[in-house]
Amino acid sequence: MGRLFGTDGIRGVANTYPITCEMALKTGQAIGTYAKQSGYGTVIIGKDTRISGDMLESALAAGVASTGSDVLLAGIIPTPGVAYLCTAIDTAGAGIVISASHNPYQDNGIKIFNRGGVKLDDEQEDRIETDILDSHIVPRGNVGKISTISDSLKLYADFLLDGFPFGKLNKRLKIIIDCSNGAASKIGHLVFKDTWFDTRFIYDSPDGKNINDDCGSQHTQKLQRLVVQEKADLGLAFDGDADRLIAVDDAGREITGDCILAVCAKFAKETGGLKKEVVVSTIMSNIGLTKALDSMGIHHIKSDVGDRRVLEEMKKSGAVMGGEDSGHTIFLDHHTTGDGMLSALKLIEVMLGTHQTLSSLASVMTVYPQVLMNVNVDASRPDFTKIKPIADTIQAVETDLGDKGRVLIRYSGTQPLLRVMVEGPDPELTEKYCLDICNSIKKNI
């Protein structure tokens, strides 16, 4: 694996290999055939607001239809919306999302869901990748139909809101919502209704090129200022395909995925909703999350990086809650994948259920200063733990930190880089430790 598929589908610059019309056509043929072989005759296609989305949608749809599978176009919809439709539509054998998530508009990508709304596993990706690259698919015979799901957003909004009794609110929370000029721009107005909440939307006017442009979950500075200026209870920032959520509390502080996970896990345990009393996050999660969960008596399991890896560990352990600090949070008792909209609703549910401000709730977790640096290395990827000067430097830092921090070093999955992450109790000292390790790597690799 790795020729086409990365950690989350196929990614690249739009109109440049592998994100070209030709490759999209072949990908559509491979997925159409995969759906038919699975015993289902329909593939759902959704997209975010990038200007290249229409072009890729047309090529993918043509590829799917050429295999005899039907296509249902969901239009502009969050990635987890397509995952939901893969469970709600009986004939759906697969779902495709055209999105590059939080990346700039020039990029695009192709994410694939199985029937049931779960992303492909490694073996399934390998199988589809082989069909794409080796041209195993030779269309012949029947041609599939291409149709539109006219009410895709309503279906998804109804699914999200099921179980949240917001119609009985005693207080209308004041919320400012940053849609990142992406897939959240329309669905946000359906979910966060002004009959329930005092809402103000920003960055909800996509033009094909302004997605994630100094806005959204990666750029919360304006949202933070507005929350304070307008005395809002909460700020919500989504990424381009709305599978991530970063929140802003009433004091204007950014609340990342780890803290959202801690807040929701505490409430779920107290209300009897945290099955197995276990939470899964990745090895990149802040050490503060581990300490917070430990203090609550919640078992913390760490997976490899990526929401797919989080989900794998959740299924193994029976956990119903897991996520990444980047804002992918999975509530497995409600949905099959990370969902920014659902995460926002869950966070609001906690605020209303506890009658506490988000700043008060967020105090459950102390966020340790974290420094992440990248070091360029050659393609040979030597085992740095066996290079004595590097190992000695790492050991010295870990000894100094003790139980007040940690070191995590790993090779990038896509670039010739060593990623060095250090957490510690003090920002300046943490940065110094990270630089010490990086300098040792540069000298000795």
Q: Which residues are catalytic?
A: 101
Beta strand pairing status for 299-303 and 278-282? parallel
Q: In what order do the strands lie in the sheet with 70-76?
A: 5-6, 9-13, 107-114, 92-98, 42-47, 70-76, 146-148
Beta strand pairing status for 42-47 and 107-114? unpaired
129, two tokens: 């990748």
- Measure CA 116 to chain center: 18
Does the CA dihedral 392-396-401-402 come out positive or negative? positive
Evaluate whether 4 touches 129 at the Cβ level (below 8 Å): yes
Evaluate whether 335 touches 226 at the Cβ level (below 8 Å): no
Q: Which residues contact 97 (CB under 8 A, 6 or more apart)?
A: 9, 45, 46, 47, 48, 79, 82, 110, 111, 112, 113, 241
DSSP 429-445: HHHHHHHHHHHHHHHH-
Q: Could you give the residue ranges of the DSSP H alpha helices within 9-52?
A: 21-37
Evaluate whether 174 touches 233 at the Cβ level (below 8 Å): yes
Does the CA dihedral 415-434-327-218 come out positive or negative? negative
Q: How many CA atoms lie within 13 A of 2 on its CB side?
A: 4
Q: How many CA atoms lie within 13 A of 299 on its CB side?
A: 12
Candidates 397, 399, 419; CA nearest to 410 is 419
Burial 336-353 (b: 16+ CB within 10 A, else e): bbbbbbbbbbbbbbbbbe
Whole-Å CA distances, 413 to 7, 147, 201: 8, 38, 36
Q: Give the helix/strand (H/E) hosting 407.
A: strand 406-411
